[in-house]
Chain A
Amino acid sequence: MLKIETEQTDDGFTICRPVGELDAFTVSQFRQSLAELASQSRLVIDMSGVPFVDSAGLGALIGGIRRARELGGDVVVVVNRPGLVRTLRTTGFDRIVAMTETVDAAKQAFEKPEGEGTTTES
Chain B
Amino acid sequence: MTTGAFGSSGGAASELWDRLQAAEEAALQLRARRDLLLEALLWLCASSARLDLAQVVKDVVGMALSLTGADVAAWAPGEETGMDLPPFASEEKGLETSPVVDDLPRLADVLWRGTTVQLEGDVAARGSTGISLRTWAGVPVRARDGGILGALFIGGHQPGLFGTQEVELVQGLATYLGAKFETLTLFRERAHVAGALQQTLLPPPLPEIPGLEVAARYRPAKAVARVGGDFYDLFEVGEATWGFIVGDVSGVGPEAAALTGVARYGARAVASADHSPSELLQQLNDTLVRLRLREKFCTALYAHVRPDGREVKVVMANGGHPYPFVSRANGNVEEVQVEGTLLGAFEQLSFPERELVLGPGDLMVCYTDGIMEARDPDGNFFGTEGLERALRASAGASAGEVARTVERAVLQHERGGARDDMAVIVIRNLDLLSGNGQDPREQAEGSPEPSQPYGSEPVFEREPGQVQEASGA
Contact = CB atoms under 8 A, between A and B. Distances in A.
B248 interface: yes
Interface in A27-82: 31, 52, 54-56, 58-60, 62-63, 66
Contact of A91 (B296, B342, B352): B342
Contact of B350 (A31, A56, A91, A122): A122
B294 A63 contact: yes
A60 B295 CA distance: 6
A41 to B, nearest CB: 20
B341 interface: yes
Nearest to A93: B341
Nearest to A89: B339
Contact of A63 (B295, B322, B339, B373): B295
Contacts of A89: 339
Given A55-B369, A58-B297, A66 B345 contact: yes
Interface secondary structure of A, over-half rule = helix
B348 interface: yes
A13 B348 CA distance: 28
Contacts of A95: 339-341, 349
B251 interface: yes
Contact of A55 (B250, B349, B352): B250
Interface string B423-452: 000000000000000000000000000000
A38 to B, nearest CB: 13
B235 interface: no
Contacts of A83: 381
A121 B348 contact: yes
B251 A55 contact: yes
Contacts of A96: 341, 346, 349
A55 B248 contact: yes
Contacts of B398: none
A92 B250 contact: no
Nearest to A63: B295
B295 A91 contact: no
A52 B323 CA distance: 18
Nearest to B323: A90
Interface in B318-348: 318-323, 339-342, 345-346, 348
B299 interface: yes
A92 B321 CA distance: 9
Identify the interface centre among A62, A83, A92: most chain B CB within 10 Å of its CB.
A92
B250 A91 contact: no
Interface residues of B, number: 28
B294 A91 contact: no
Nearest to B340: A92
A62 B295 contact: yes
B388 to A, nearest CB: 13
A122 B340 CA distance: 12
Contacts of B323: 90
- Scoring A31, A62, A83, A86 by chain B CB atoms within 10 A of each residue's CB, the highest score goes to A62
A55 B228 CA distance: 13
Given A62-B345, A122-B350, A91 B251 contact: no
A104 to B, nearest CB: 26
A96 B318 CA distance: 15
A107 B133 CA distance: 88
Contacts of B340: 92, 95
Contacts of A59: 250-251, 295-297
Contacts of B299: 91
Interface in B262-309: 294-297, 299
B320 A91 contact: yes
A58 B341 contact: no
A121 B349 contact: yes
Contacts of B294: 63
A91 B341 contact: yes
Contacts of B341: 91-93, 95-96
Contacts of B384: 86
A27 to B, nearest CB: 9
Contact of A56 (B251, B318, B345): B251
Given A58-B250, A59-B251, 16 more contacts: A55-B369, A58-B297, A58-B342, A59-B296, A60-B295, A62-B295, A66-B346, A91-B320, A92-B339, A92-B340, A92-B341, A93-B342, A95-B339, A95-B340, A96-B341, A96-B346
12 contacts: A55-B248, A58-B297, A58-B342, A59-B250, A62-B295, A90-B321, A92-B339, A92-B341, A93-B341, A95-B339, A96-B349, A121-B349
**Shortest 10 CB-CB distances between A and B: which pairs?**
A92-B341, A59-B295, A55-B250, A91-B320, A63-B295, A92-B320, A62-B345, A91-B342, A95-B341, A96-B346
